[in-house]
């Protein structure tokens, strides 16, 4: 498996960064989805779009399937949303994760992972996970076996200043770093083994990468701050699902602001996170 490259990540980011919103910039939103689709196709995946109805219009998710050695064991879904809120270029939220998704595809395109992987570019995450919920409902309706789901959510912001990392009120900060220089893996109770395995696999793949994990009780419903990404519909559907994140507004002061620009991202950190997730997908423990 070839390593992730900062140059490729930067290329994707330059193509994606800019407001991508269904109300204020629908053309840019569609172009971002088309960019994801084009990369999936160029890497030889089986590619398709699915319509996503929203307020009288159809938007679309983009999917690319990589056949695994044991497709009978169910799909492993890896997704990132390509939309933004109004008024922000959305570099960390969520172009960073889309770029990582595309680079993971590049790293794995000639591989045969143990499980078949469904790579997903989700639309309309910022409007209560419309795109990922649409997929989740379809999988449930069609009784498609799902081994697990990984949501990539804001992966590129680092702050190495002491006391730069904040946490939800239910997390003991004494148990975690006070610098915002690690990646977090968040799961719920049913996803505990997957959460621990993904965090461990990322550390093994990239020994210099700081990785922390959090497992919340039950289905996570009582912990709204860790539900704010495309894993949430899968938690509610009873599937194993984890979020990989730089912790968003608990670290990044540019969250949902016009200052969420490419210049604020740490591309070496994003490369290491990408490498870590790609390594996990080649030997996933669920």
**pLDDT reported for residue 2:** 84
pLDDT band at residue 164 under the 50/70/90 scheme:
very high
Check the CA dihedral 20-21-23-24 and report its sign: negative
**pLDDT reported for residue 265:** 98
What predicted TM-score, i.e. pTM, was given to this entire model? 0.97
- Using the predicted structure, report yes or no on whether residue 126 has a pLDDT greater than 80: yes
pLDDT band at residue 4 under the 50/70/90 scheme:
confident
Residue 111 placed within a domain: yes
User: Do 202 and 276 contact (CB within 8 A), yes or no?
Assistant: yes
Residue 198 placed within a domain: yes
Residue 200 placed within a domain: yes
Domain of 86?
A: 6-281
- Using the predicted structure, report yes or no on whether residue 41 has a pLDDT greater than 90: yes
Distance of CA 76 to the CA centre of its chain: 13
Residue 81 placed within a domain: yes
Residue 39 placed within a domain: yes
**pLDDT reported for residue 220:** 87
**pLDDT reported for residue 285:** 87
CATH code of the domain in which 77 resides: 3.40.630.10
CA distances from 81 to 141, 177, 181, 222, 270 (A): 22, 27, 23, 24, 16
- What does the buried/exposed string (b/e) look like for 44-63 if buried means 16 or more CB atoms within 10 Å of the residue's CB? ebebebbebeeeeeebbbbb
Give SS3 for 101.
helix
pLDDT band at residue 222 under the 50/70/90 scheme:
confident
Residue 286 placed within a domain: no
Residue 146 placed within a domain: yes
- Using the predicted structure, report yes or no on whether residue 286 has a pLDDT greater than 90: no
Nearest to 141 by CA among 50, 241, 244, 36: 50
Averaged pLDDT for residues 80-92: 98
Domains in the chain, number:
1
Residue 1 placed within a domain: no
């Amino acid at each position: 498996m070839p390593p992730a490259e900062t140059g490729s990540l930067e290329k994707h980011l330059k193509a994606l960064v800019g407001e991508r919103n269904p109300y204020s910039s629908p053309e840019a939103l569609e172009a971002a989805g088309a960019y994801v689709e084009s990369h999936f196709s160029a890497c030889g995946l089986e590619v398709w779009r699915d319509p996503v109805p929203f307020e009288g219009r159809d938007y679309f998710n983009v999917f690319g399937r990589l056949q695994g050695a044991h497709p009978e064991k169910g799909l492993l879904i890896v997704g990132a949303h390509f939309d933004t809120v109004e008024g922000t270029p959305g570099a960390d939220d969520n172009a960073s994760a889309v770029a990582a998704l595309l680079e993971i595809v590049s790293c794995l395109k000639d591989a045969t992972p143990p499980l078949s992987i469904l790579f997903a570019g989700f639309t309309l995450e910022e409007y209560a996970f419309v795109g990922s919920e649409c997929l989740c409902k379809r999988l449930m309706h069609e009784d498609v076996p799902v081994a697990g789901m990984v949501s990539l959510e804001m992966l590129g912001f680092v702050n190495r200043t002491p006391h730069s990392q904040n946490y939800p009120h239910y997390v003991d900060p004494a148990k975690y770093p006070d610098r915002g220089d690690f990646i977090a893996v968040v799961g719920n109770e049913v996803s505990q083994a997957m959460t621990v395995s993904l965090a461990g696999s990322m550390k093994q793949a990239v020994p210099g990468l700081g990785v922390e994990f959090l497992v919340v009780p039950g289905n996570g419903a009582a912990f709204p701050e860790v539900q704010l990404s495309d894993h949430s519909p899968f938690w509610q559907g009873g599937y194993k699902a984890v979020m990989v994140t730089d912790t968003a507004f608990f670290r990044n002061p540019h969250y949902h602001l016009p200052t969420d620009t490419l210049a604020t991202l740490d591309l070496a950190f994003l490369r290491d996170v990408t490498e870590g997730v790609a390594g996990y997908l080649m030997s996933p423990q669920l």
